Amino acid sequence: MKTLATSLLGAVALLSALWAPSGFAQEAEAPIQLLLQEHAELIERSSRRTIGPAIDALAASGLPEAQIVLERWQAREMWQNEETGLFVYAEEIDRDTLRIFDFATGAEIGEVADDDYDQLKPNGGIRAMIGAALVQFQLADPDPETRSTALAAIERDPEASHLSALRAVIEAGPDPEFADKRARLERLLTIRFGETDAERIEAIEHFAGDLGVDVRAALNPLVATRIEAAETLPEGEDIVGAVAVGGDALSDAAAYDLLVAADLAPPRIGRDDKRAALIANIDGGAVAGIEVASLSTEAARDMAYAALAAQGVVEPVATEAEVTEALATHVFYERYVGAPPAVAWAAAAALSDIETRVGLNQAVDLTLDGLSLASIYFLAAIGLAITFGVMGVINMAHGEFIMMGAYTGYVVQLLVPDYTLSILIAIPLAFAVTFGAGVAMERLVIRWLYHRPLETLLATFGISIALQQIAKNIFGTQARPLTAPAWLDGSLVVNDIVSISYIRIAIFVLALLFLALFLFVMNRTRLGLEVRAVTQNPRMAASMGINPDKINMLTFGFGSGIAGIAGVAIGLYAKVTSEMGQDYIVQSFMTVVVGGVGNIWGTLLGATMVGFLQKGIEWMNPSNTLAAQTYMILFVILFIQFRPRGIIALKGRAAEA
C-alpha cells in the first residue's frame, strides 16, 4: 500500500510538474530535448552501426547540456518516458522508484515509478563511441586533471573525431599547462586523419628528426607495402621498387603463390599429392598410357600428370619447369598501400632520417652505458690496483671489502633515516671500517706471505669465504636495501633513446673524484712519495730511511678503504648481499691486468676497455649476459697474450714480479 501510495503521489507530482507552464512544455521545447527527439529513433534502436549520427549531432551541437546528456547516457542513467518520448536522467531510489531530472536545466522533476520509463543501456561499443565524443568537452574542462585524462585517452586510442576536437580547443585559446602536448597530438592525428595530402605531409615534415616513439608509431602504418606480381614492372608513384625472388622478403614458394593469385600462372601441386593422383589412376600397369616403370623421374611424372589433365581426369597444374619459367618471366614489386603515394614517400623519407638519428643516439646511449659500467669497475678496481698493482698481493678477499662497505652504508641508514646525510656519513665510515680491516688482514696474514703468491691467493680466498659467512650470520641471506637520496631518483632523459640514471651519473662523478684523490695522494703527499719509492725500488727506499713494512701496511689499508667506499657507491646501484663482492672481483682483476698493474691511468683505461667491451657484447647479444661475460674473459685472455704487461706497463718491482 505504501509503495502504491508513493507511486500515486509521485505521478501526481510529475503531472503537476510536467503540465505546468514551466515544466513539461518548457522541457519539450528546450533545444537539447528537440535535438534528442530529432534522433530519438536512432537512440531507441541503440545499434552501434547506426548510432553514430546521433552521437555526432550531440557532440557538434554546441549546446552546454550536450556533455551532460552524453555522460549520463554513457553511465546508463538516461531514461525515456514511454508515453511522451521525452528523455530525462534519473537516480534509482529503490527497485520501483526513480528521481528524474531535466536535461535542459538540471532541475529535479520529481519521483516517479519506473514502470513508465525505459532505461537506455548502451553496449560497450556505443559507450566507447560516446566516450570519444566526450573528449572534446573534457579537453576544454577547467579542471587540469580532466584535461590531462582526455589527452591521455587520445594518445591511447586516437580517432578521427579527436582531430577536430583538438583543433577546436587549440583555436579557443592557449593552455600553457598542456599547450605543447596538445599541439603534438594535433600534429600526430593530422598525420593519420588529415583530410588532404598536403596537410598530412606538412605534419610529417614537422616531425623531421623527432625520435619520439609516438612519431614512429604514426609513420610506420603509412609506409605499409604489399608485394604484387606482373609481367612487367608497372609505373606509378605508389611503386616502391622491384623485389628479388628467393631473398628474405620473398621466397620462391610465396612468389609463385602471388602469380597464381593474380591468374598469371596455373596452380601447382605438391609431389606427394601428384604421386597420390598418379597411383589412383593406374590402369593396367600404366598411367595415361605411360608405363609405371618409366615414372622414375620427376619429369616423367609431370608428363603423366599432364596427360591425365589433358584427359580431364585431374585439374591441370604447373610442372616444376613451368614454375621456374614463370618465376623467371615475371617481376615482383612492392606497392605502398598504407597511404596515398605522396604521403607514403614523405613518411618513408622521415623514417629514413629518424632511423639514422636513432642509430646515432643508440651509439650515444651505448657510450653512456659503457662509461657508466666502466666507472663502476674503476671504483671496484682502484683499491685492487693499489694492493695488487703496487704490492703484488693477490687479494681474493677484495670483493668482500666492497661488501663490507655496502653493509656499513646499510647500517648507517638504519640509524640515520635521512638518506642524504646517511650517505655522507657512510662514505668516510666505510673507509675507516675497511681500512682497519685491511690493516688487520695485512698485519695478521699478508705480511707473512709476501713473494709467495700461491699461498697468498689461498689464504685470501679462505678469508673471503669466512667474511661471506660472517655477513650471512649477521645480516642474513636476503638482499638489504641501500637507498639512494631522493635527488638521485629517476634518470636524465635526453630523448626516447638516450637516458642515464642519476645514480650512475653520481657513481661516474665519484669515480672521477677518486681518480683525483688518488693522484693527489700519490703525487702531492709524503705517503704517496714513499709508496712510489717502495714500488720502484724497496731496497733503495729502505736505505733512505723509509720503512717498507709500514708503507706496505698503510698501502694495503688504503686500498681496502677505497674498496669500502666503492661498496657504498655500488650498493646504491646493485643489491647488497654477502655475495655481492664476487660479482666484481673477476672484473676488478681483469681491469687491473688489462690496464697494467700498479698504474692508476692503466686501471682507468682497463676499466674503460672492459666496460665498453662488455656493453658492446651485450648489445650484440642482449638476451644472454652470461655469454657476454664469457666472451669478455676470452678477449682479455687473448689481449694479455699480446700485451702481458697491460696497456700501460710499469717499471720497477711490479714489473719484475
What's the CA gap between 97 and 112, in Å, rounded?
A: 6
Q: What is the mean pLDDT of residues 558-587?
A: 87
pLDDT digits (tens, 9 = 90+) for 249-267: 888 888 888 888 888 888 8
> Domain segments of the chain: what residues?
2-127, 140-223, 225-336, 360-656
User: Does residue 8 have a pLDDT over 50?
Assistant: no
Q: What is the mean pLDDT of residues 86-104?
A: 87
> Bigger pLDDT: 378 or 534?
378
Provide the pLDDT for residue 296. 76
Question: How does residue 429 score in pLDDT terms, banded at 50, 70 and 90?
Answer: very high
Neighbouring residues of 227: CB distance < 8 A, sequence distance ≥ 6: 243, 249, 250, 258, 332, 333, 334, 335
Provide the pLDDT for residue 623. 63
What's the CA gap between 296 and 305, in Å, rounded?
A: 13
What's the CA gap between 155 and 160, in Å, rounded?
A: 12
User: Does residue 113 have a pLDDT over 50?
Assistant: yes
β pairing state of 117-119 and 225-230: unpaired
User: Does residue 412 have a pLDDT over 90?
Assistant: yes
Percent of the chain at pLDDT > 70 equals 92
User: Does residue 172 have a pLDDT over 80?
Assistant: no
Residues shown for the chain: 657
- Please, what is the Cα angle at 476 between 470 and 480, to 5 degrees? 110
Provide the pLDDT for residue 655. 45
User: Does residue 15 have a pLDDT over 70?
Assistant: no
Provide the pLDDT for residue 389. 65
> Bigger pLDDT: 128 or 226?
226
* Residue 403 C-beta-side C-alpha neighbours within 13 Å: 27
pLDDT digits (tens, 9 = 90+) for 191-223: 998 889 999 999 999 988 888 888 998 999 999
Can you give 588-654 as a three-state secondary structure string? HHHHHHHHCCCCHHHHHHHHHHHHHHHHHHHHHCCCCHHHHHHHHHHHHHHHHHHCCCCCCCCCCHH
Query: Which numeric CATH code is attached to 360-656?
Result: 1.10.3470
Provide the pLDDT for residue 656. 47
Which residue, among 128, 122, 107, has the nearest Cα to 73 in the 3D structure?
A: 122
Provide the pLDDT for residue 652. 45
* Residue 466 C-beta-side C-alpha neighbours within 13 Å: 8
